[in-house]
Amino acid sequence: MSLATPGYTGTGFFLFVVTTAFILTLIWIFVYFLGVREALSLPINWILTELLNTSIVSVLYFVAFIVQLITWAPRYHYKGVNIAAGVFGMINTGVYAFGSYLLYLEWKSRN
């Protein structure tokens, strides 16, 4: 997130995705850490909700890192840090995709 700031040309979408994913991940951490799932008796399929969230974030990260790398590849000013941000976005895409896969396996085992 800090490598791609300030948001120059093409970096705005990348920063939006990174920041949104960060906030959503923090929310899920607090849901598990505070035991919200167990405390609330809401008719929510928590695993499916988290699977959808993680899958959507994974797809958005995929698009965002491609846009980031394509935008900054031909530039010269601040190129290094923005390319590094795109590479970290690529790594995050893989991590979120793997998390989606694990959540899918858990969801299938419960249904």
Write out pLDDT tens, residues 51-100.
999 999 999 999 999 988 888 877 766 778 888 888 999 999 999 999 99
Nearest-angstrom CA–CA distance, 89 and 85:
6
Tell me the domain boundaries of the chain.
11-110
In the predicted structure, residue 8 carries a pLDDT above the cut 70: no
Q: CB burial class (10 A; 0-12, 13-18, 19+) of residue 78? A: middle
Nearest-angstrom CA–CA distance, 74 and 99:
33
Helix/strand/coil percentages in the chain, nearest 5 = 75, 0, 25
What predicted TM-score, i.e. pTM, was given to this entire model? 0.85
Nearest-angstrom CA–CA distance, 28 and 33:
8
